[in-house]
């Protein structure tokens, strides 16, 4: 998994007024849920987390706090409902023993049979939530769609990745080949043509 380096400072400012002032100064309040119930109130520079948050990628984070580096992941983000600006970040410290949940990007590979037949490949889920130890979590989940026919779909229950548990519902659709309007028209024309030929033969 890709690593993102980030610095944070401890904050003593607590309360709505203090937090509002932090945001005006270009900082984001954050909490670190550490190992052994060590929880810290932190603040990070807003400009330094843009590439961590506004990206389709998933990162592990090397968070530097008071000269100490901690391996963490994003636990939860709070956004402004109108501006989409980040209001608060929760970090979770991880180790190589205890499993964690993380959302990992899905990559579809191959040219589906249904697409060659005129269908359209649709990615229904861009990320899947997986559970595994920190060192087993991949950067991406690669899914082969080559054998997917028209109207076919891949559900979470169809997927298996060594060392990973997929947390999403088993019946959730990850990818599907939809019948396009053009393909429907071709199918209808073919059906009508076949019916016409049958009627002509019967009349003769």
Question: Among 34-48, 113-127, 140-154, 179-193, which is the least confidently predicted range?
Answer: 179-193
Residue 177 β-bridge partners: 121
Q: How many CB atoms are closer than 10 A to CB 137? A: 21
pLDDT in tens, 105-161: 999 999 999 999 999 999 999 999 999 998 899 999 999 999 999 999 999 999 999
CB-side neighbour CA atoms (13 Å) of 28: 25
pLDDT value for 120: 95
Q: CB under 8 Å to 169, separation ≥6 — which residues?
A: 156
Decide if pLDDT at 46 tops 90. Answer: yes
CB-based contact 177:151 (threshold 8 Å): yes
Q: Which domains, and CATH codes, for the chain? A: 2-94 (2.40.240.10), 102-184 (2.170.120.20)
Q: Is the pTM of this model over 0.85?
A: no
Residue 46 to residues 41, 158, 194, Cα–Cα distance (Å): 16, 40, 64
Decide if pLDDT at 199 tops 60. Answer: no
Give the confidence band of 191 by pLDDT, cuts at 50, 70, 90: low
Phi, psi of 160, deg, nearest 5:
-145, 125
Q: Once rounded to an integer, what is the mean pLDDT over residues 172-200? A: 69
End-to-end CA distance of the chain: 70
pLDDT in tens, 63-119: 999 889 999 999 999 999 999 999 999 999 998 788 999 999 999 999 999 999 999
Decide if pLDDT at 172 tops 60. Answer: yes
Supply 45's token pair: 């520079």
Q: CB under 8 Å to 177, separation ≥6 — which residues?
A: 112, 114, 115, 119, 120, 121, 122, 145, 148, 149, 150, 151, 152, 153
How far is 204 from 201, CA to CA, in rounded Å? 5
Bigger pLDDT: 38 or 165?
A: 165
CB-based contact 30:89 (threshold 8 Å): yes
Residue 79 β-bridge partners: 86
């Amino acid at each position: 998994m890709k690593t993102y380096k980030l610095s944070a400072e401890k904050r003593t400012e607590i309360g709505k007024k203090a937090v509002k002032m932090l945001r005006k100064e270009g900082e984001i309040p954050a909490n670190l849920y550490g190992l052994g119930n060590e929880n810290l109130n932190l603040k990070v520079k807003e400009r330094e987390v843009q590439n961590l948050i506004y990206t389709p990628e998933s990162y592990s984070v090397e968070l530097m706090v008071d000269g100490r580096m901690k391996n963490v992941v994003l636990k939860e983000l709070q956004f402004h409902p109108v501006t989409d600006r980040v209001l608060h970040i929760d970090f979770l410290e991880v180790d190589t023993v205890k499993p964690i949940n993380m959302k990992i990007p899905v990559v579809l590979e191959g040219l589906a049979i249904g697409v060659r037949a005129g269908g359209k490949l649709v990615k229904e889920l861009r990320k899947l939530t997986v559970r595994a130890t920190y060192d087993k979590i991949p950067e991406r989940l690669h899914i082969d769609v080559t054998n997917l026919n028209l109207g076919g779909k891949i559900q979470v229950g169809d997927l298996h990745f060594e060392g990973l548990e997929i947390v999403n519902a088993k019946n959730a659709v990850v990818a599907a080949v939809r019948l396009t309007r053009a393909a429907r028209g071709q199918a209808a024309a073919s059906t009508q043509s076949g019916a016409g030929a049958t009627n002509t033969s019967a009349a003769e």
